[in-house]
Chains A and B, each alone.
Chain A
């Protein structure tokens, strides 16, 4: 072979090209067979596991039926017998046997898909080679050891991948780049040449010189036919249900019996190919015309077949075709939009210009705080309970160890609906009394709620406010558990640096009672206006649930013990949200930015 320029392998960049123009560079004979070398070709030469293409080369003076194609050092030889005459420099027209090529492509891509599934399921296997139709064989060969291979699950995985409609892309890279991006490199690759690689979806790239489909959706069902093992070589054989393609010229006549499924598949293949190529503004319109024009669109024509179909077929193919039509519409529009956007972003959109936010709503600050606390306590196994706001003295006072006229009733000026028995609850402890009465231990509950007092409103006190209560009743509960949960809760609310002080404090419904103060975060305990010079801020009241409270709620205090704690929420909400007047928080003056 003389020093000649390499043949440009058009099939590497466009595997869907069926016809092409080229120039003859050399003609020769080997034995009885003629060969032709062209400047470029769409004929795929035997190799990489894929058989060579067949087809026709013709010029005004001669033609050759191509029987085989060979690759040799960058030159591609088309073999056959010339009928008429070719000479160097002749312009020739190339036609490949598309039906055959299309099969080769499906076999080849299917083989790679099988490989993807194998690599996924059996990562220890090292691929050696693939045979995609040469000698009528279809298999991938691996090196490695395998105790067992479940064919069903492999087959299932392959077809799942196939149904994902993965895009198949090809590009040229250097060997160095390939090394970085690929998991497997055959040993015999040339160093200084750009290499063609393929990629299925977003998986690892693979060196490949074959003709590949554009999308796995163009594949029919793949079956794993057998798995053979010899020494350390494993061959996985496969088969793919070939989707036949019809030359574009063939028109479908209404009424004629056609394989609609095949038609749809073919339409899809061609469409995705065309769509990929469209990248000029006018081409989108042309694409719409080609497939969707009312008169002669390819997809429209398929749709026009519908009325001629019988009932069950109509039911089956109707939705399929309608979906095809609208997906093509939206895909063309999508691509066009993408194209437009790309054009636009090349002109400048000034993204530095800021806009005001969209008008979303806000939750009330108290709701936000309650949610935070609920979430915290839910993590520790607490449920949320609610109860009536119109309460009886029984649940609001008596069950909580507060007999009528007891001095401690002074702590809560009550709003009555009907004195002395029906009132607005003065604290969320009424819900505690209800839960303890209605449920058997173990009990772990928090109560966020509205409470009412007969108080004249001012900046810090209102007749209406919120409390947050929590209580636990179980075997073996001690004041240590109460201290533990209160420490966690305060850290949750105020950060890890909180310092708490626990001291005795009387509350009627608990004994022993416990007051909890937090070291003032404004003065670090030195004393300031905020903490009224105490150095500490009173946070909440708590204690072990009173023996009599458990008793009056029907829980045996000799078997179960429990703790309870309760805090006013509003002061906390106000300090967090910068509200200085509680009346604003729940009144007409509250507004949002």
Chain B
């Protein structure tokens, strides 16, 4: 909010320079939004303190911090004349929940004219153009006290009655700014003779606006359900000084204060006489008392603040003490402090006014609790290190994408169709990166990401229908070599990752699109020629410790088998077959794969065995069995 210092100084007498004042406000909880220009502070908006959207609210906190008097503006608290029945403007509120209070007064024989300079200047410094004295007064009081006000020309009313109700579908109103808005039943409006004259708590209509010819006005100050004002203003896309305040939590006691202040100013600047009119106020809230234990201040801050100082601060902030003893105080919360919920909020006020800078810092000297970090966290970090050691670059990609997968999670209010779903595989969002590497003059892209995938597992929209899984995905593209060469690298990388976490007993089976990586009958991931993906949670469950140290002399030997097989035959099955052929076989290593021009391919397998194995016999036996079991030839 803009705070012109000249206006602020109407209420407090401070010798501080503009930047010193700004620094005080920073400590109090209001930082500058932009640099100080022309002695105007541009303070940020805080969502809880509706009183900080008034100059008086800002002045009050500063007076408490600086311990200087706060000069409250003049009001006219005398009751107005009682109108004749025919002059009374009837107020009717249809429906419940939107209007908490609607306080009105009628002024007759007012002179609408230009505002005096002190008034127009303050408004203009704040950023509201001066219109005429009546309109300016309502705006001035709004900025001064934080309570929106509204004045209308009664002479254009066809009936002396205001009905507040839901708008009808397609009902229209032209606002003060000349914009025509189409309404709907979710919006509350003020009507006169069944015609909309104002959107409740948001903006007034042009038809009843106060002009130079206006002689009789009705002044209103309303308090509305803040949630409903928020919804309507967001829906109608109207944001203005009124909405800024009425979508915060205001207190209905402020309406009376605002009316009294405006009455004073109207009588001063426009003359005429005023009449009481209806004050719709069905449920006046009771004042709220709060207990503050001195001990609590210490519990929260670790510092002891002298009781006299505590009371001084509270009084300066207009809390009234209703009860006190040596341990505690009970205070009545001032109506404008709608933010105060709990005792700690009073503690906040005390600490804030005393300045946080004065609280020392210290260190926890209690023994730390047991480590509760989920093992998957460290495990995934280990996987990252393994991937980096293989030469892969880590990427983190935005999971919001345009996924076509059947079970993908869709957003209800996405800003663009490119980000309308969550990924169901990491590959979806990582793959574009691997393709981009070429653009950056890399002939090889080797990238990985460890992250979540998101799944909508049923048609229901309950929370349990949404699932998150954890995945590592690696993509390898060597643009200078064949797909076979790429796939060999991918298979080696997969074997390395698994080997590093002690998993060697896996196999790959043929899936529809990709190979499925199977461990003891359970699918733990997928593989295709350029990438693999693994479920990290499953990996964590099956990982095993295997010492990489060679502790004894391993007495082994090996022989090679050269196979010629059909292009579509599955070598993985043949490898497993050989591995389980005899207990003397210690391992089967694929040395070379080659695609031949015909529909054949060759593979060279190295089989390692015990040193005592009769290699020639074993080799022949395996060759015979393979030729019998599979469609292949062993080169003898």
Contact = CB atoms under 8 A, between A and B. Distances in A.
Interface of A: 318-319, 322-323, 326, 359-364, 366-367, 371, 380-386, 388-390, 392, 401, 404-408, 410-411, 415-419, 421-422, 424, 439, 442-445, 450, 452, 454-456, 462-464, 472, 474-481, 483-485, 487-488, 501-506, 508, 511-515, 527, 532-534, 538, 544, 546-548, 561, 585-592
6 pairs of A and B residues whose beta carbons are closest in the complex:
A381-B368, A405-B227, A483-B361, A478-B302, A512-B348, A361-B388
A511 B362 contact: no
A383 B373 contact: yes
A124 B611 CA distance: 52
B485 to A, nearest CB: 16
A375 to B, nearest CB: 11
B369 interface: yes
Given A363-B384, A464-B400, A477-B364, 9 more contacts: A318-B612, A381-B367, A415-B414, A481-B362, A484-B364, A501-B357, A547-B344, A585-B396, A591-B436
Nearest to A453: B415
A474 B28 contact: no
Contacts of A475: 366
B300 A363 contact: no
B412 A419 contact: yes
Contact of B361 (A364, A410, A474, A484): A484
B394 A364 contact: yes
Most chain B beta carbons < 10 A, residue from A472, A544, A546: A544
Contacts of B34: 532
Given A464-B398, A485-B363, A512 B351 contact: yes
8 contacts: A360-B391, A361-B392, A361-B448, A380-B364, A380-B368, A381-B368, A407-B48, A481-B362
B389 A360 contact: yes
B420 to A, nearest CB: 10
A390 B409 contact: yes
Nearest to B34: A532
Nearest to A306: B612
Contact of B366 (A416, A474, A508): A474
A415 B359 contact: no
A384 B398 contact: no
A361 B369 contact: no
Interface stretch (B460-468, B559-567, B600-608): B460-468
Given A323-B553, A442-B369, A478-B299, A361 B359 contact: no
Contact of B47 (A318, A362, A408): A408
Given A319-B553, A439-B372, A504-B348, A480 B413 contact: no
B249 interface: yes
B26 interface: yes
A479 B359 contact: yes
Interface string B519-554: 000000000000000000000000000000000110
A483 B359 CA distance: 9
Nearest to B361: A483
Contacts of B393: 361-362, 591-592
A513 B437 contact: no
B361 A407 contact: no
B27 A479 contact: no
B29 interface: yes
Contact of B341 (A488, A534, A548): A548
A505 B387 contact: no
Contact of B555 (A318, A380, A421, A487): A318
Given A363-B394, A381-B369, A512-B351, A478 B300 contact: yes
A422 B372 CA distance: 27
Chain B interface size band reads 35 or more
Contacts of B397: 586-587
B360 interface: yes
B399 to A, nearest CB: 7
B343 interface: yes
A591 B419 CA distance: 22
B248 A416 contact: no
A554 B449 CA distance: 37
A407 B384 contact: no
Interface string B220-234: 000000110011000
A59 to B, nearest CB: 49
Interface of B: 26-29, 31-32, 34-35, 46-49, 226-227, 230-231, 247-249, 299-303, 339, 341-345, 347-348, 351-352, 356-357, 359-364, 366-369, 371-374, 377, 381, 384, 387-400, 409-415, 419, 422, 432-433, 435-437, 440, 442, 444, 446, 448, 452, 454, 461, 463, 466, 468, 552-553, 555, 611-612
Contacts, number: 259
Contact of B344 (A386, A419, A544): A544
Contact of A389 (B230, B231, B357, B452): B452
A474 B27 contact: no
A421 B413 contact: no
A504 B29 contact: yes
Contacts of B446: 361
A278 to B, nearest CB: 24
A388 B469 CA distance: 10
B461 A422 contact: yes
A323 B556 CA distance: 11
Contacts of B394: 361-364, 367
B555 A390 contact: no
Contacts of A502: 356-357, 359
Nearest to B301: A479
Most buried by B among A364, A371, A476, A515: A364
B29 A503 contact: yes
Contacts of B369: 381, 383, 442-444, 474
B377 A506 contact: no
A512 B352 contact: yes
B468 A389 contact: yes
Nearest to B455: A390
A385 B375 CA distance: 10
A506 B384 contact: no
Nearest to B374: A386
B409 A367 contact: no
A96 to B, nearest CB: 35
Contacts of A503: 26-29, 31, 356
Given A383-B373, A505-B29, A416 B360 contact: no
Given A361-B446, A390-B466, A484-B361, A416 B411 contact: yes
B466 A463 contact: no
B483 to A, nearest CB: 21
Contacts of A388: 468
B409 A360 contact: no
A452 B400 contact: yes
B399 A383 contact: no
Nearest to A394: B463
Nearest to A446: B373
Contacts of A504: 27-29, 348, 351-352, 356
Contacts of B374: 384-386
Given A361-B446, A422-B466, A384 B361 contact: no
B342 A547 contact: yes
A469 B377 CA distance: 16
A485 B364 CA distance: 9
Contacts of B247: 407
Contacts of A506: 29, 46-49, 339
A226 B248 CA distance: 95
A421 B463 CA distance: 8
A475 B299 CA distance: 10
Contact of A415 (B29, B342, B413): B413
Contacts of B452: 389
B411 A415 contact: yes
Contacts of B395: 364, 590
Contacts of A538: 31
Contacts of A410: 47, 230
B348 A588 contact: no
A444 B369 CA distance: 7
Residue in B32, B231, B249, B413 with the greatest tally of chain A CB atoms within 10 Å? B413
